[in-house]
C-alpha cells in the first residue's frame, strides 16, 4: 500500500482507441498512463475504461473499481455518462474483473476513487461524444461543431434532423480518435447527471435478495471449506490430530496447511472440505491441534495498558515533529494542562464475512471469485504463493457486503487458493464464520496519548506536547499505527512537539474507515476542548483563533497524485457552517448538551455538532448531529453522498458507545455481535448534512465524516456532566 501511495499519479495525457462491436455498434477503450503507473509501481501498464454502444441505443459502461457499498459502481459511470450526454435510462453498468493491462489500478480505499477518476472518466465520455458527432456530421455532410447532443441523441439545429447514438455507433467506430487532453469538457452549468441523486445500481437487487455477493458464488461441483487457524496471534502449528474431524459424516477431506508468519498472507492452519459449509465448520470442533504460542500467549489489553503507562514515565523513543521552543513555552506558562487518553483495538465486522471461491485447474491456472478491495495484492500474492505466472491467475471481483478497510488485506484469498491447490479441478468456496471474522481481523490499532498544553498569562495556547504510545511488529511501527508530523494542530501552535514510543505486539493491524484519523480526531479534539475550557472559551472559538489569518498549505503529492494542502479557509468554512446549523450559541434543551468536533482527513473537511443526553441508566443518548462538509465544488451523486455521511456518523457513534476488542492470552475475547454490539436503529440520531462548496475538484466521502463525530459526542458529555471521557468506549459508570 505504501509503495502504491508513492507512485500513484494521474496524468492528463490519455490514449483513446475505438473499435466496432460484432453486430454493429461502438466499443471505446480509454488508456490513462498515469493510472497505469500506479498499478505497476512506475512501469508501463494501461487503465482502460470501456464504453460500448449497441445499435438499439443501450450504452454499457464498465465500472472498474470494487464496490463495497460506497456507491462507486454507480458514481464512476455517471462521470462518463455526463460528458457522453447519455440518456441515463439507457445506461447499463457492469463491474469489471481484475485486469491490470486494461484497467490499471483497481481498488476501493482511502476515499480515492473520486479524486483519481474525476477528470479521466469525464474525458472518456467527452471523447466518445466527439466521435459520435463526427460520424453524424460525415453522414449529413455538415460540420460537427454545429451539431448538438442530448440524452443519447444527436441533433442538427439547422435542418432539424436527429439521429440516436445507436444509429451512428458503428460509423463512429471509424472516426478519428480525439486527444483526451484536448477534448472539450462540459461547462458545469450544463451538468444533468453529475449532481443528480441516483440510487445505487445494485440496490434493487439487494432489496430483492438476489445473489450478487462473493458468498453467493455458485459453481458446478463446488465444495465448501472451513479453515482453523491459531487463536493466539503469532502462534505456529506444532501438530494436529485430524482423525476425529475426518470421521464426521459429510466431511470429504481434512489436511494441514503450512504457512508463514505474515498474517496478511498464508498462516498455519487446518482445512476441512465438505459438501456443505455447515458440516465443514462443525467438524472443526473435533480437531485436536497443538499450537506453539511462544511469548505471545502472555499478551493482553491490560498488559499493554500497563506498558504504555511505564513508557510514559520514560523518555520517548523518537520525535515525530518539533516546532518552536517547547521547553520555553512550558517554562513561561501561566497554566499547564495535562491529560491522558486511550482508545482500543477495533474490528471491521462487515456484514458479509470473509470468503473466496477458488479453482485451481490441472494445468496450474487459477480462477478466483473474491470480494476484495485490493485485487492487485491478492492476485500477486496468490501467484507467488502457488508459483504460477500472474497471467495464469484470473480474479473476478465480486460485490462486497461491506469492507471498511478489512478487504484491503487478502489473507482469505491466500487460504482459499492454498486449499484449492490441494483439490485441483474442484471449485472450493472458503467461508469464514462470524467468529473467524472477528477474531482473525486486521484491527484498528489501540493507542495511548499523554498531552500537555501551555497557556500564557493572556490565555493563549503557546505550547503543546503529545507522547504517543503505539505498537511495533518486528521492530517497525505498522502504517496504520503511526502518527504523522502534520496532525492538527501541528503548524498552528507556535511551540509543538509530538513524540512516540512503541511496544512489540503480534496483533495484526490494518486500515479501518478513516484510518489513523478515526482515533487521532478523538484524542486531539477532546484535549483541545479541555484547553478551550481552561481559556474560558469553547472548542470552535479556539479552532477559529488558531486558523484565522493563516495561508493555505502548498499542493501535496500523495496517494493518487497531487492534491491541495490543508486550507485554513476551508476549515473555517465548515466550522462556521456547523455552528450556524446547530445554533451553537443557543444552549441545548434542559437535560441535553452540545459538543463540537472538527477534522480534516482524506482531503475532506468536516465539522460536526452532537446533541446528547443521559438515559435513566446513565447511558449516553445521541439525539441530533449536524454535519458540515467541504469536499469540493461538486457532489456527484447526492444520494450516495448522503448515505456515506450518515453511515460514517452512525459508525463513529457506535465505536464511541460500545465497541472495543480486548486481548487476553494473546487472543481476541469478543466473538460475535452479542459482545461486539454494532449500532442499531435505536442508536441512530437525527442527522442534518450541509455542504460548503469550494472551488476545488471533488474528493471522496467514504471516510472524512467519521472522525469528528467521536470527539463531538465526548465533548457534549463533558458539557452535560463535567466529566471528561478519556478512554473509549464510553463507560456509563463515569456518569454514575
Q: Which of 277, 282, 260, 278 is nearest to 269 (CA)?
A: 260
Question: CA–CA separation, 375 vs 426, rounded Å?
Answer: 22
Q: What is the domain class of 2-198 according to CATH?
A: alpha beta
CB 687 within 8 A of CB 582: no
Instruction: Give the model's pLDDT for residue 557.
Output: 75
Q: Number of C-alpha atoms within 13 angstroms, CB side, residue 213?
A: 20
Buried b (16+ CB within 10 A) or exposed e, 303-326: ebbebbeebbeeebeeebbebeeb
- Report pLDDT digits (tens) over 445-465: 999 999 999 999 999 999 999
Average pLDDT (586-598) is: 97
* SS3 state of residue 51: strand
Q: How many CB atoms lie within 10 A of CB 395?
A: 24
Question: CA–CA separation, 42 vs 37, rounded Å?
Answer: 5
Instruction: Examine the pLDDT at 96 and tell me if it is beyond 50.
Output: yes
CA angle 685, 510, 100 (to 5 degrees): 105
Give percent of the chain with pLDDT exceeding 90. Answer: 87
Question: CA–CA separation, 732 vs 736, rounded Å?
Answer: 7
Q: Domain extents for the chain?
A: 2-198, 214-294+354-431, 301-346+443-735
Question: CA–CA separation, 212 vs 640, rounded Å?
Answer: 19
Instruction: Examine the pLDDT at 638 and tell me if it is beyond 60.
Output: yes
Average pLDDT (551-563) is: 79
Enter the pTM of the model: 0.93
- Report pLDDT digits (tens) over 139-173: 999 999 999 999 999 999 999 999 999 999 888 87
Q: Which DSSP state fits 674? A: T
Instruction: Give the model's pLDDT for residue 102.
Output: 78
Classify domain 214-294+354-431 at the CATH topology level.
Aldehyde Oxidoreductase; domain 4 (3.30.365)
As its CATH architecture, domain 301-346+443-735 has 2-Layer Sandwich (3.30)
Q: Which DSSP state fits 444? A: B
Instruction: Examine the pLDDT at 414 and tell me if it is beyond 90.
Output: yes
Instruction: Give the model's pLDDT for residue 44.
Output: 17
Instruction: Give the model's pLDDT for residue 170.
Output: 86
Of 62-76, 380-394, 436-450, 547-561, which range is least confident?
547-561
CB 629 within 8 A of CB 606: yes
Distances in whole angstroms, Cα of residue 629 to Cα of each of 97, 381, 587, 725: 34, 38, 23, 25
- Report pLDDT digits (tens) over 616-635: 999 999 999 999 999 999 99
Q: Number of C-alpha atoms within 13 angstroms, CB side, residue 625?
A: 33
Instruction: Examine the pLDDT at 718 and tell me if it is beyond 80.
Output: yes
Instruction: Examine the pLDDT at 88 and tell me if it is beyond 80.
Output: yes
CB 63 within 8 A of CB 51: no
Binned at pLDDT 50, 70 and 90, residue 715 comes out as very high
Q: Which of 452, 451, 450, 460 is nearest to 334 (CA)?
A: 460
Largest pairwise CA distance in the chain: 84
- Which residue did the predictor score with more confidence, 726 or 178? 726
- Report pLDDT digits (tens) over 18-54: 555 544 555 555 544 333 222 223 321 122 256 888 8
Distances in whole angstroms, Cα of residue 679 to Cα of each of 412, 648, 655: 26, 12, 8
* SS3 state of residue 368: strand
Question: CA–CA separation, 300 vs 444, rounded Å?
Answer: 16
Q: Are 2-198 and 301-346+443-735 equal in CATH topology? A: yes
CB 494 within 8 A of CB 324: yes
Average pLDDT in the chain? 92
Instruction: Examine the pLDDT at 183 and tell me if it is beyond 70.
Output: yes
Instruction: Examine the pLDDT at 406 and tell me if it is beyond 80.
Output: yes
Amino acid at each position: 500500500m505504501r509503495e502504491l501511495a508513492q507512485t500513484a499519479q494521474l496524468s492528463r495525457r490519455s490514449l483513446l482507441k475505438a473499435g466496432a462491436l460484432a453486430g454493429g455498434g461502438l466499443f471505446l477503450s480509454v488508456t490513462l498512463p498515469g493510472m497505469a503507473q500506479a498499478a505497476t509501481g512506475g512501469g508501463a501498464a494501461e487503465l482502460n475504461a470501456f464504453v460500448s454502444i449497441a445499435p438499439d441505443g443501450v450504452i454499457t459502461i464498465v465500472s472498474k473499481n470494487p464496490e463495497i457499498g460506497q456507491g462507486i459502481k454507480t458514481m464512476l459511470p455517471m462521470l462518463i455518462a455526463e460528458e457522453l450526454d447519455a440518456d441515463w435510462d439507457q445506461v447499463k453498468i457492469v463491474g469489471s474483473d481484475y485486469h491490470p493491462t486494461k484497467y490499471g489500478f483497481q481498488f476501493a480505499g482511502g476515499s480515492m476513487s473520486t479524486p483519481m477518476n474525476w477528470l479521466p472518466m469525464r474525458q472518456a465520455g467527452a471523447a466518445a461524444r466527439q466521435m459520435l458527432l463526427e460520424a453524424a456530421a460525415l453522414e449529413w455532410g455538415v460540420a460537427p461543431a454545429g451539431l448538438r447532443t442530448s440524452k443519447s441523441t444527436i441533433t442538427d439545429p439547422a435542418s432539424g434532423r436527429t439521429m440516436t447514438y445507436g444509429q451512428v455507433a458503428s460509423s463512429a467506430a471509424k472516426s478519428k480518435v480525439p486527444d483526451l487532453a484536448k477534448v472539450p469538457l462540459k461547462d458545469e452549468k450544463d451538468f444533468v447527471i453529475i449532481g443528480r441523486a441516483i440510487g445505487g445500481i445494485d440496490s434493487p437487487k439487494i432489496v430483492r435478495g438476489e445473489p450478487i455477493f462473493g458468498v453467493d458464488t455458485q459453481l458446478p461441483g463446488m465444495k465448501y471449506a472451513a479453515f482453523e487457524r491459531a487463536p493466539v496471534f503469532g502462534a505456529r502449528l506444532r501438530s494436529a490430530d485430524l482423525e476425529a474431524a475426518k470421521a464426521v459424516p459429510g466431511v470429504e477431506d481434512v489436511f494441514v496447511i503450512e504457512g508463514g508468519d505474515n498474517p496478511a498472507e498464508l498462516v498455519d492452519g487446518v482445512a476441512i472440505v465438505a459438501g456443505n459449509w455447515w458440516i465443514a465448520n462443525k467438524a472443526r470442533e473435533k480437531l485436536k491441534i497443538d499450537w506453539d504460542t511462544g511469548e505471545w500467549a502472555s499478551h493482553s489489553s491490560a498488559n499493554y495498558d500497563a506498558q504504555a503507562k511505564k513508557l510514559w514515565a520514560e523518555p520517548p523513543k523518537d520525535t515525530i515533529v518539533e516546532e518552536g521552543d517547547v521547553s520555553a513555552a512550558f517554562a513561561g506558562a501561566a497554566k499547564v494542562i495535562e491529560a491522558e487518553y486511550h482508545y482500543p483495538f477495533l474490528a471491521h465486522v462487515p456484514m458479509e464475512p470473509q470468503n473466496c471461491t477458488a479453482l485451481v485447474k490441472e494445468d496450474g491456472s487459477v480462477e478466483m471469485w473474491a470480494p476484495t478491495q485490493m485485487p492487485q495484492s491478492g492476485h500477486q500474492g496468490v501467484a507467488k504463493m502457488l508459483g504460477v505466472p500472474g497471467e495464469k491467475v484470473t480474479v473476478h471481483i465480486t460485490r462486497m457486503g461491506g469492507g471498511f478497510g478489512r478487504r484491503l488485506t487478502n489473507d482469505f484469498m491466500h487460504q482459499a487458493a492454498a486449499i484449492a491447490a490441494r483439490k485441483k479441478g474442484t471449485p472450493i468456496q472458503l467461508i469464514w464464520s462470524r467468529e473467524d471474522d472477528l477474531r482473525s481481523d486486521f484491527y484498528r490499532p489501540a493507542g495511548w496519548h499523554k498531552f500537555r498544553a501551555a497557556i500564557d498569562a493572556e490565555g493563549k495556547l503557546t505550547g503543546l506536547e503529545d507522547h504517543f504510545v503505539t505498537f511495533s511488529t518486528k521492530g517497525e511501527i505498522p502504517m496504520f499505527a503511526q502518527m504523522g508530523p502534520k496532525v492538527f494542530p501541528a503548524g498552528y501552535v507556535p511551540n509543538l512537539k509530538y513524540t512516540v514510543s512503541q511496544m512489540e505486539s503480534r496483533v495484526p493491524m490494518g486500515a479501518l474507515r478513516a484510518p489513523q484519523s478515526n482515533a487521532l480526531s478523538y484524542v486531539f479534539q477532546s484535549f483541545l476542548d479541555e484547553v478551550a475550557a481552561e481559556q474560558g472559551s469553547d472548542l470552535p472559538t479556539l479552532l477559529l483563533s488558531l486558523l484565522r489569518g493563516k495561508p493555505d498549505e502548498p499542493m501535496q503529492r500523495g496517494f493518487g497524485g497531487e492534491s491541495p494542502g490543508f486550507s485554513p479557509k476551508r476549515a473555517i468554512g465548515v466550522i462556521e457552517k456547523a455552528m450556524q446549523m446547530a445554533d451553537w450559541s443557543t444552549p441545548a434543551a434542559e437535560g441535553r448538551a452540545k459538543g463540537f468536533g472538527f477534522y480534516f482527513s482524506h482531503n475532506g473537511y468536516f465539522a460536526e455538532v452532537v446533541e446528547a443526553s443521559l438515559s435513566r441508566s446513565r447511558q449516553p443518548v445521541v439525539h441530533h448531529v449536524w454535519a458540515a462538509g467541504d469536499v469540493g465544488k461538486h457532489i456527484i451523486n447526492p444520494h450516495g453522498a448522503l448515505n456515506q455521511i450518515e453511515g460514517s456518523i452512525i459508525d463513529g457513534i457506535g465505536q464511541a458507545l460500545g465497541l472495543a476488542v480486548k486481548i487476553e492470552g494473546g487472543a481476541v475475547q469478543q466473538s460475535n455481535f452479542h459482545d461486539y454490539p454494532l449500532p442499531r436503529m435505536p442508536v441512530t440520531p437525527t442527522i442534518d448534512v450541509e455542504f460548503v462548496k469550494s472551488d476545488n475538484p471533488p474528493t471522496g466521502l467514504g471516510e472524512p465524516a467519521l472522525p469528528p463525530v467521536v470527539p463531538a459526542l465526548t465533548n457534549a458529555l463533558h458539557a452535560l456532566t463535567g466529566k471528561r471521557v478519556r478512554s473509549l468506549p464510553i463507560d456509563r459508570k463515569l456518569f454514575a
